[in-house]
Amino acid sequence: MSFSSEVKDELFERLPSSRHCRIAELTAILIMTNGIQAPYICVKSENFRIVKKFTILIYRLFQIPAEVRVRIHKTGSGITTYAALVPEIQHCRQIMDTCKLTESGQLDRLIVQKDCCKRAFIRGAFLTNGSVNNPERSYHYEITCEQEKMAAVLQELFISFDVDAKIVNRKRHYVVYVKEASMIVDALNIMEAHKALMEMESVRVMKDMRNHINRKVNCDMANINKIVTTAARQIEDIRYIEQTKGLQFLKKNLRDVAELRLEEPDMSLQELGENLYPPVSKSGVNHRLKKISEIADELRSETGKK
């Protein structure tokens, strides 16, 4: 089962305790499924959970039963569609009036005035047309809308919870999406998908830890490579001086560093300084080695002139 399906399973089980929140979630399902087919209401989906949630909500709110029908496409695809039909016109009118929906299915903002109702509406919208990627692979949360106006409403609701949702047009649909991991966690919290939230947080912590370790290892490797490359160049300069003039050519403080570098090619500057007598600071060692390199370059230049 996908992570998105796990989230929807959790949301399906969550039924608002207050009447106004149930109305908000029902309204979202009606709008997102184009359930208003005047004079009737018919909610259709390939996901049985959506149809069942709709039937539960209208029964809890109005004690109205719905006729659930199943249709299998005969095109060879084998796709199954579920539909919940409210057959009585007076019942349809009662539901539409309560949800403040017109025949065009436009949302009345009175339905989502309270924060709890906003949460319920977003939950219903996600349950109907939403998806969220497995956090092990990538971070992406989205809700698809047929109308740009509905996408704008959802974006506004997310922003009211400080979630930076964006809208993109995709194949004649408008997608409200969130890409940042922390924002997706907030979106799950808004919908009250607490189990999925904890699972995602656990994955996110592990990924962050792995990324931190990888960055540290890469940084350490870069430092090691730098030390090895620098040490190799220093040894090359010292060997050149030894072969052309001999190390006795160097002043004692430079000769001591040169001899120790030849003996200990893997030592860092700080370790070299600690092993000199008397000890020398890291910057002092670096200064002496630079002076040795300058002497080697001068000797090479003189040899080239000859």
Tell me the per-residue pLDDT of 252-299, one tens digit each, with 9 for 90 and over: 999 899 889 888 888 888 889 899 888 999 999 999 999 999 998 888
pLDDT range class, residue 222, cuts 50, 70, 90: confident
- Please give the mean pLDDT across all residues of the chain: 88
Examine the fold and report which residue of 144, 165, 192 is the final residue of a domain before the chain moves on.
192
Tell whether 186 and 58 lie within a shared domain.
Answer: yes
Total number of residues shown for the chain? 306
- Residue 73: what pLDDT? 61
Q: Read off the pLDDT of residues 163-210 as tens digits, 9 standing for 90 and up.
A: 999 999 998 899 999 999 889 999 999 999 999 988 888 887 787 788
Is the Cβ–Cβ distance between 22 and 61 less than 8 Å? yes
Is the Cβ–Cβ distance between 99 and 30 less than 8 Å? yes
Structural domain boundaries, residue 138: 3-192
Is 60 exceeded by the pLDDT of residue 46?
yes
Dihedrals phi, psi of 124, to nearest 5 degrees: -65, -40
pLDDT range class, residue 91, cuts 50, 70, 90: very high
Tell whether 130 and 244 lie within a shared domain.
Answer: no
User: Is 172 within the bounds of a domain?
Assistant: yes
CATH number at residue 124: 3.10.28.10
Other C-beta atoms closer than 10 Å to the C-beta of 268 total: 16
Which are the contacts of 106, defined by CB distance < 8 A and separation ≥ 6?
A: 149
Is the Cβ–Cβ distance between 223 and 206 less than 8 Å? no
User: Is 22 within the bounds of a domain?
Assistant: yes
User: Is 202 within the bounds of a domain?
Assistant: no
Q: Give the range among 17-31, 81-95, 211-225, 242-256 with minimum mean pLDDT.
A: 211-225
Tell whether 159 and 121 lie within a shared domain.
Answer: yes
pLDDT range class, residue 137, cuts 50, 70, 90: confident
Tell whether 21 and 164 lie within a shared domain.
Answer: yes
Q: Give the strand pairing for 130-132 and 141-145.
A: antiparallel
pLDDT range class, residue 40, cuts 50, 70, 90: confident
User: Is 110 within the bounds of a domain?
Assistant: yes
Tell whether 140 and 216 lie within a shared domain.
Answer: no
- Residue 69: what pLDDT? 83
Dmax (CA) for the chain in angstroms is 109
User: Is 203 within the bounds of a domain?
Assistant: no
Tell whether 112 and 260 lie within a shared domain.
Answer: no
Amino acid, res. 100 = K
- Residue 232: what pLDDT? 87
* Number of structural domains the chain divides into: 2
Tell whether 160 and 228 lie within a shared domain.
Answer: no
- Residue 185: what pLDDT? 92
User: Is 13 within the bounds of a domain?
Assistant: yes
- Residue 101: what pLDDT? 87
Tell whether 181 and 97 lie within a shared domain.
Answer: yes
pLDDT range class, residue 223, cuts 50, 70, 90: confident
Amino acid, res. 102 = T
Tell whether 171 and 298 lie within a shared domain.
Answer: no
Tell whether 136 and 220 lie within a shared domain.
Answer: no
Examine the fold and report which residue of 192, 226, 246 is the final residue of a domain before the chain moves on.
192
Tell whether 161 and 237 lie within a shared domain.
Answer: no
Which residue, among 142, 134, 133, 135, has the nearest Cα to 167 in the 3D structure? 142
* DSSP annotation string for 4-25: HHHHHHHHHH---SSHHHHHHH
- Residue 77: what pLDDT? 61
Tell whether 20 and 110 lie within a shared domain.
Answer: yes
What's the token pair of residue 119?
């949460």
Examine the fold and report which residue of 159, 192, 225 is the final residue of a domain before the chain moves on.
192
pLDDT range class, residue 304, cuts 50, 70, 90: low
